[in-house]
Amino acid sequence: MSVGAIKVGIIGASGYTGADAVRLLATHPHVHIGVLTGNAHAGKKIGEIFPQFAGLDLPALVKVEDADWSDIDAVICGLPHSTAQDVILNLPKHLKVIDMSADFRLQDADVYAQWYGRSHEAPALLKGAVYGLSEHYGAAIAEADLVACPGCYPTAALTLLLPLVKAGLIDASDLIIDAKSGVTGAGRSLKEQNLFSEVAEGMHAYGVAGHRHAPEIEQEITKANGAPVTVSFTPHLVPMNRGEYLSVYAKTKNNATAADLRAAWQAFYADKPFVRVVEAGVVPATRHVRGSNFCLLAAFDDRIDGRVILFSTLDNLVKGSSGQAIQNLNLMFGFDEMAGLQQQPLFP
């Protein structure tokens, strides 16, 4: 444990986002993992759940109610949606909380209730939560006690869209987002549709006109746009473990071209190490971000006049979840934004 290091707990360490938090924190220069919770596996070592960690010196899994938080500085919460809010509500107040679930993302409790089919259990906490899109809300994140990390699709969509909407370069009322994701986006839960033989050698759309990441994207675009926005958002499941790829079809305003959009991104993200605008004419690929915290952006003029084709890609478990959580942790504790996140992409 290095000088100046903090102690972090991971709640829900037996899921894929929890595991990726462990993977990344294992080499973080300023963080020591002090608590790991996993209710279904309490008493086991993390190496029994994720054998790749069997050689690491880590605490055994405990039930969240049995954890000793006394010397922990912050928690990263990887619980499923709807279960996180109750757990977070009952955590000691000295803990900084970075939540990777959807529970604190929708800032209007009524919108939350409408999309999640239940009323929010912690509306007071919800009021103080900061939306953890690191490159856009960095200052607020640095001061926050509770950060709600964006969903994987919203991270990819908003990183692409927000600078363009804010700059008035695209028409926010006609945004079509065709999204593709690897299977880890569905987590480690036992569902027939996630079996290898149901997914390999094929693809399909899902959640058509009803995916819960749509209102999250709309909340943020609406803020940037200054008027309510509904987006067309259609996710697809692709036979790969990691990676998210968004193809966004938009109309430009004021004769803006792809080059103008690229310039707007470059200006906005000039000092942001994890967002990179690829060179003009280059098409990004999920495999060029695999395992890393990078998000790549690209813009092309369409053959239809006034239309552009935009791409955003990231690793759903890293920049789309655990990596951004750690990036936010770095912002909250004043560490270098890249600490623990310097892994280069794994390709092939």
Find the binding residues for its own copies in span 240-279 (CB under 8 A): 240-243, 245, 247, 249, 276, 278-279
* Sign of the CA dihedral running 300, 211, 125, 336: negative
Are the C-beta atoms of 157 and 223 separated by less than 8 Å?
no
Distance (Å, whole) CA 152 – CA 185 = 8
Q: Which of 1, 89, 139, 176 binds its own copies (CB under 8 A)?
A: 176
| 67 vs 295 by CB, closer to its own copies | 295
Largest CA distance in the chain: 62
Structure tokens that stand for 155 in this block: 């991270």
| 120 vs 290 by CB, closer to its own copies | 290
Q: Which of 284, 320, 323, 340 binds its own copies (CB under 8 A)?
A: 284
Q: Is position 111 an interface residue for its own copies (rule: CB under 8 A)?
A: no
Q: Is position 195 an interface residue for its own copies (rule: CB under 8 A)?
A: yes
Are the C-beta atoms of 295 and 319 separated by less than 8 Å?
yes
Q: Which of 142, 205, 224, 263 binds its own copies (CB under 8 A)?
A: 205
Helix, coil or strand: residue 346:
coil
End-to-end CA distance of the chain: 33
Closest CB 68 distance from its own copies, rounded Å: 25
Are the C-beta atoms of 265 and 277 separated by less than 8 Å?
yes
Q: Which of 64, 221, 289, 332 binds its own copies (CB under 8 A)?
A: 289
152 is catalytic: yes
Rg (CA), the chain: 20
The residue count for binding its own copies (CB under 8 A) is 85
Q: Which of 4, 127, 204, 259 binds its own copies (CB under 8 A)?
A: 204
Q: Which of 201, 254, 270, 271 binds its own copies (CB under 8 A)?
A: 201
Q: Is position 197 an interface residue for its own copies (rule: CB under 8 A)?
A: yes
| 73 vs 218 by CB, closer to its own copies | 218
The window from 87-95, 136-144, 231-239, 263-271 that contacts its own copies (CB under 8 A) reads: 231-239
Closest CB 143 distance from its own copies, rounded Å: 29
| 89 vs 304 by CB, closer to its own copies | 304
| 131 vs 233 by CB, closer to its own copies | 233
The catalytically annotated residue of 77, 149, 152, 295 is: 152
- Give 131's Cβ-side CA count (13 Å radius): 18
Instruction: Burial-class residue 320 by CB neighbours within 10 Å (0-12, 13-18, 19+).
Output: buried
| 143 vs 201 by CB, closer to its own copies | 201
Distance (Å, whole) CA 184 – CA 177 = 20
Are the C-beta atoms of 143 and 121 separated by less than 8 Å?
no
Are the C-beta atoms of 340 and 25 separated by less than 8 Å?
yes
Q: Which residue numbers are catalytic?
A: 152
